[in-house]
Amino acid sequence: MDSIIISGGSKLTGKVKISAAKNSVLPIIAASLLCPFECKLEDIPFLDDVYVICDVLNSVGANISLNKKSNRISIKADNITSIEPPYELVRKMRASFLVIGPLLSRFGRCRISLPGGCNIGTRPIDLHLKGFCALGADVRLGHGYVEAYCNKLKGAKIYLDFPSVGATENIMMAAVLAQGETIIENAAEEPEVVDLSNFLNSMGANIIGAGTDTIRIIGVKELKGTTHQVIPDRIEAGTYMVAAAITQGSVVVENVILEHIRPVIAKLQEAGVTVIEEQNKVKVVANGVPKAVDIKTMPYPGFPTDMQAQFMALMSIAKGTSIITETVFENRFMHVTELKRMGANIKIDGRSAVVEGTAKLTGAQVKATDLRAGAALVLAGLVAEGKTEICEVHHLDRGYVNIVEKMQSLGANIQRIQKE
């Protein structure tokens, strides 16, 4: 298993280009199952999670070709041979569950293993299933599997108890080929939901309101192939913005949609960091140690849970005490013990963490427990005194394109080493 070794202390400077959003690409690839025609996706980040969703589609008979040189993927689902992706693939990644909406909608059946909990919470799928039932599917659970059947899905009004991103996406994909009108109330407003809606509309779907809390989907008979360019990854962007702030550096983060990173910009500015906005890029300049700020994660447009760990790393060296409250997931503080091993002063009290800024972190051997926890440890390692060794870096491979190379290009003393 590989490790990442960082010698802290370099101020990051230069430019970094953000890749396309992992959390957009995954549902969009799943949505390509909705039609038998070729869908072409551009600017694809070739991440481990993207390979897994491609394998899931392959396993049901979709034809996928990856062009790594031009960062493109083309998918043709004209010969679907199975409605049951194998457990060995599905268990690798929760987002595999996103194929249920398209398969059910197009073929009237899907059997898929139930995703388990993970390091950030129990992560139930009740809201996805509630949506499928409302659309008229017969949904059964047993032996660790979900089976859903229908003759033809019928439009319905669905209220989500929580604006779940995955449930909104899965229900939207199921509803595009349903008979009549579906309305999703209290829908997730995340940019990735809007990107999926734009992709589906370019296939001929009729979706209005994505990006607001009410999405209206008027079912169509069939969809056609399309070409789509995926939005930039707002979480990767936020991570490099924090990298500039934590190292008191000056970094231009390119290929961003400013509107998508508003909460991160606002919180960095509140912490005393200079953020200069330009078209499709931001320059982040930190002269001095940032001030402590409080953070509360919320569904979009609130502060993203996927940036909570990275901000905790920043707050670990800030002036003052910050309270970080996680409201989206119930167990997303696994990085706390690792940051504490590096000298951070953090106490957890229920869903909040009280972070008392310390003058210095010290390098240590630490473990990435999930994707964003891994990113937080990289950030902490950049500013820590001495050497930090992060193990279990396969988590980072799921969501950050070439993080070591990108950090190196900004002047970080970071390398990846292969271990037995």
- Cα–Cα distance measured from residue 15 to residue 93, given in angstroms and rounded to the nearest whole number: 32
User: Is 133 one of the annotated active-site residues of the chain?
Assistant: no
| Interaction of residue 305 with ligand EPU, rule CB under 6 A | yes
| Interaction of residue 306 with ligand EPU, rule CB under 6 A | yes
- Cα–Cα distance measured from residue 77 to residue 81, given in angstroms and rounded to the nearest whole number: 10
Q: Which of 132, 240, 329, 333 forms a contact with ligand EPU (CB under 6 A)?
A: 329
| Interaction of residue 372 with ligand EPU, rule CB under 6 A | yes
| Interaction of residue 26 with ligand EPU, rule CB under 6 A | yes
The residue among 164, 168, 170, 167 whose CA lies nearest residue 99 is 170
Q: Which of 9, 61, 86, 121 forms a contact with ligand EPU (CB under 6 A)?
A: 121
- Cα–Cα distance measured from residue 104 to residue 110, given in angstroms and rounded to the nearest whole number: 6
User: Which CB, 159 or 162, lies closer to ligand EPU?
Assistant: 162
Contact 113, 90 (CB under 8 A): yes
* CB-side neighbour CA atoms (13 Å) of 207: 31
Q: Which of 127, 175, 261, 315 forms a contact with ligand EPU (CB under 6 A)?
A: 127
Contact 209, 279 (CB under 8 A): no
| Smallest distance, ligand EPU to C-beta of residue 123, A | 4
| Interaction of residue 124 with ligand EPU, rule CB under 6 A | yes
- Contact region for ligand EPU (CB under 6 A) — 62-70, 157-165, 275-283, 338-346? 157-165
- Cα–Cα distance measured from residue 39 to residue 31, given in angstroms and rounded to the nearest whole number: 10
Choice among 39, 118, 133, 391 that is catalytic: 118
| Interaction of residue 159 with ligand EPU, rule CB under 6 A | no
Quick one: DSSP state of residue 191?
H
Q: Which of 29, 137, 167, 256 forms a contact with ligand EPU (CB under 6 A)?
A: 167
Q: Which of 3, 10, 19, 23 forms a contact with ligand EPU (CB under 6 A)?
A: 23
- Cα–Cα distance measured from residue 290 to residue 286, given in angstroms and rounded to the nearest whole number: 8
Q: Distance of CA 89 to CAs 206, 303, 368, Å?
A: 32, 32, 22
User: Which CB, 199 or 357, lies closer to ligand EPU?
Assistant: 199
Q: What angle do CA 199, 204, 208 make, to 5 degrees?
A: 70
| Interaction of residue 328 with ligand EPU, rule CB under 6 A | yes
Residues catalogued as catalytic: 118
The residue ranges that bind ligand EPU (CB under 6 A) are: 23, 26, 94-95, 121, 123-128, 162, 164-167, 188, 192, 305-306, 328-329, 371-372, 399
